[in-house]
Structure formats: C-alpha cells, structure tokens
Amino acid sequence: MSHANILTLEMDKNKTHSWLRSAGLVILSSILIGLFAKVAIPLPFTPVPIATQGYVILMLSVFLGSKRAAAAVIAFLIQGAAGLPVFAGGVGGMIKLFGPTGGYLFGYLIAAFLVGTLMERMQNRTTMKLFGILGAGNAVIFLFGIPYLAAFIGFKQAVLLGLAPFVIGDLMKLVASVKILQWILPVFHRVR
C-alpha cells in the first residue's frame, strides 16, 4: 500500500469519526432539550408557559455552533412532532407543534442557528458580547412566536399574553445563562 493510500484511509477515518461525534452531540443535545420539557410553569391566562427550553437551546448553541445546534433543534422538533412528550409541559404531537405556541418552537430553530453562527464568528469573547448574542437569540424566539400566536388570538393579545409576562423572567434567565456560561467557559472576561 502506498503512502498516499495510507493518508487517504487515515483522512477517511478522521472524517467518519468527526461525523459520528457530531451526530452523537446532536442526538444527545436534542434529548437534553427534551428533558427540560417538565421544567415549565403553565400560566392560567395565556397558552404560553414559562419554560426553560429556550435558554437550554441558546446555551447549547454556544457550544455546538450553527449547524449542530440547528440539527439538534430539528431532531427535538421531530421527536415532538412524533408525539414524544418533549415540548414544554411534557407534551408532544403535531397539534402542539402547529398550535398557538408553535411559532416559539420554530423560533428555537432560527435562534439556535443565529447564536451558533455569532459564536463561531465572535472575536474577543466578552461577557457583554455573550449577553448580546443570547439576547438576540431570545428576541428571535419572540419574533417567531408572537406573530404565530397572533394568528390565533390577534396581535395585541399576542403581545399582552405572549411577550409582556415573560420580559422580566427572560432577563433573569439571560443573566443566569451568562453566569453559567462564564463559569463553564473561562474565556469570557468579566469586564468590557
């Protein structure tokens, strides 16, 4: 066997290993997102629950990058569409996926890709940049969730019931997420 053939086999082995590693990370991440389904508080006045899955997705996107984060959310959405109880409150099914809160679920996909992309491109990692990136991801979730909810209850009601009750809680989750990521990723500087 020639030296070139050995190098080709070694490169193929590395590609396969890399692909398997990525697939494993995607599957494990989608399962982790689903495990947070029960960490949700239903509110009696709105179809939108207080949920942690959005921030789990945003934090995973920091680690996974754009493609793997988006793939993990797609796998999560497929699991939910198939009826597995992975959506907030431990429910699943196509009715939930395309119901009043479906826009938030689809927003998860775009937010994961956005956060992953911004993290891949980030130079000089700082706390404020991380805060901004996670905040942008959270805003994207609302940008998809509110108009979709509005199709069911009207725009004014969608803002009152799908955004207003969550602003303070999401700010607190944003700060907590940044603190957790600072603890996990010491590359973020505390000042700037």
Q: Is the pLDDT of residue 188 over 70?
A: no
Give me the mean pLDDT over the 159-178 stretch: 96
185 vs 69: which has the higher pLDDT:
69
- In sequence order, what DSSP letters do the residues of 119-162 get, joined into one string? HHH--S-BHHHHHHHHHHHHHHHHHHHHHHHHHHH-HHHHHHHH
What pLDDT does residue 192 have? Answer: 36
Task: Let me know: does 19 contact 68? Beta carbons within 8 Å.
Answer: no
Is residue 118 a part of any domain in this protein?
Answer: yes
Q: Is the pLDDT of residue 7 over 80?
A: no
Domain of 119? 3-184
Is residue 190 a part of any domain in this protein?
Answer: no
- Percent with pLDDT over 70 in the chain: 88
What pLDDT does residue 183 have? Answer: 87
- The rounded mean pLDDT for the chain is 90
Is residue 189 a part of any domain in this protein?
Answer: no
Buried b (16+ CB within 10 A) or exposed e, 17-32: eeeeeeeebbeebbee
What pLDDT does residue 34 have? Answer: 97
Helix, strand or coil, per DSSP, at residue 5: helix
Q: Total structural domains in the chain?
A: 1
Is residue 192 a part of any domain in this protein?
Answer: no
CATH number at residue 116: 1.10.1760.20
Q: How far apart are CA 28 and CA 8, in angstroms?
A: 30
Give me the mean pLDDT over the 43-51 stretch: 94
Is residue 191 a part of any domain in this protein?
Answer: no
Is residue 98 a part of any domain in this protein?
Answer: yes
